Amino acid sequence: MSNVKLPSRSENYSEWYNQVIQRAELADYAPVRGCMVVRPYGWALWEAIQRELDQRFKATGHSNAAFPLFIPMSFLEKEKEHVEGFSPELAVVTVGGGEQLEEPLVVRPTSETIIGYMYSKWIKSYRDLPVLINQWGNVVRWEMRTRMFLRTLEFYWQEGHTAHATEAEAIAETRQMLDVYTDFAINEAAVPVIPGRKSETEKFAGAIASYTIEAMMGDTKALQAGTSHFLGQNFAKAFEIQYLDAGNQLQHCWTTSWGLSTRFIGAIIMTHGDDQGLVLPPRLAPIQIVVVPIFRSDEERAKVMPVADQVSQALSAFRVKVDDRTEVTPGFKFNDWEMRGVPLRIEIGPKDVDNGVVTIARRYLPGKAGKSALALDNLAQQIGVVLDEIHDAMLDKATRFRDANIHEPNTYAELLTTVENGWAYASWCGGKDCEAKVKEASKATTRCMPLDQPEDKGVCVVCGKPATAKVYFARAY
Ligand SMILES: [Zn+2]
């Protein structure tokens, strides 16, 4: 970690993003173009994301399993829209063990096909339903333009795949998992996402309806942070996922899939990060609290260190680190942990010890405003309260930033100006032509149609015809 300043976000947002990832040691570039190495600190963040999501998946009745990395090429070809959507991004294995393979194998870009194939073997009767399975794993999509965490050839994620007896149940599942993602994003990551439905153009290849959580990044671009798809009977028909109903009639299942990936780390970096580096939400931060003892002599050291150890023990319910390095100054340590986004710093100097207090500094609120003193008595309880307050304040700050950058344009010209530096919440006729026209003119795409729609939707801001939905237009990652 060097002490050279980061480029500011206003100066060069993209370079700021790349340097934060490197200097906070979240990830590094791999020798293969477009691949990344997730470093231990980045992986610890991903593990925290996994932990919170996995708990929610299990609480809603899902189990984890593992399906193979390789999928026969013919499987993908069974669902027409699916193969059209994914074929430009496929990595294909044609040689194995030195032999030309009889059938090329695709490195999974997603697993609907192979899981659909297995479900057709496992599901026989309505008594076997619903099947509620999730898998944690990696997938490969051969992207041409890559950015660490946001778009890499290989990435890590979870993909849920469920099969149901009725359409209504499958739709309810799709919406339930959208709610799970929304709850996770807001209550664990302090990322104020907007849930909604994707347009026909933007939906998943092979889905009837796709739902998304969309987040606004610090440069006002949108980021799709998680998706939940209602697949209807498309995959059930392609893979003959069928069951005998109570009346002994053969029926096709209704299926769903839903996923959230390491891309979400990009969402955390760009929602909360500032010009000093990463700012991590306390409930996901691999290190929630760093304790920095401050001393200038052996005598001071002898006074301060036992208190630092005592504080670390008192806070054992949290993820705490005592930075007892002697080769660097406290100032260096402050910058170092600020770059890594540790939500709370506890400083303990000789004066603090004399006064029976510690000084705390909140990462999201730099300078004096974020500092205060806490009594050593009952420290754990006080720190718990402070971390909750930090979560709330980070969520509030991000929500205010988001709302300040969403505007409702009344004309097409206003729409184009708005999406240059923010999101447009606009009336839309639902037509693909209007969507394409906006994209062509501004690079902005429709992000989502919020679930709560007003009664009176007005007229399409592009063509003037009656609108069918209010939709967010924005440039996106
Ligand atoms: Zn229109």
Give residue-wise pLDDT tens across range 2-41. 557 899 999 999 999 999 999 999 999 999 999 999 999 9
Interior CA angle at 448 toward 413 and 178, to 5°? 165
Q: How does pLDDT run across 262-308, given as a tens digit for each residue?
A: 999 999 999 999 999 999 999 999 999 999 999 999 999 999 999 99
Residue 53 structure tokens: 């999501």
Query: Above pLDDT 70, what percent of the chain?
Result: 99
CA 448 – CA 459 distance, rounded (Å): 18
N-to-C CA span, the chain: 28
pLDDT of residue 2: 53
CB 426 within 8 A of CB 461: yes
Give the E-state strand segments of 187-341 in sequence order.
194-197, 209-216, 222-230, 242-244, 250-252, 254-261, 289-293, 320-322
CA of 412 to the centre of ligand 1 (A): 10
CA of 471 to the centre of ligand 1 (A): 12
pLDDT of residue 25: 98
Burial class (CB in 10 A: 0-12, 13-18, 19+), 135: middle
For residue 333, pLDDT over 70 is answered with yes
CA of 436 to the centre of ligand 1 (A): 10
Q: Average model confidence (pLDDT) for the chain?
A: 96
CA of 375 to the centre of ligand 1 (A): 61
Q: How does pLDDT run across 411-427, given as a tens digit for each residue?
A: 999 999 999 999 999 99
CA of 474 to the centre of ligand 1 (A): 16
CA gyration radius for the chain?
25
CA 200 – CA 86 distance, rounded (Å): 16
CB 181 within 8 A of CB 448: no
CB 23 within 8 A of CB 16: no
Q: Sort residue 16 into left (φ over 0), alpha (ψ -120 to 50) or beta.
A: alpha
For residue 1, pLDDT over 90 is answered with no
Interior CA angle at 41 toward 69 and 9, to 5°? 105
CB 157 within 8 A of CB 262: yes
CA of 225 to the centre of ligand 1 (A): 27
Angle, nearest 10°, between helix axes 40-59 and 263-272?
Answer: 110
Q: Is 252 helix (H, G, I), strand (E, B) or coil?
A: strand
Q: Which residues surround ligand 1, an ion (CB under 5 A)?
A: 429, 431, 434, 460, 462-463
Q: How does pLDDT run across 172-188, given as a tens digit for each residue?
A: 999 999 999 999 999 99
Q: What is the pTM of this model?
A: 0.96
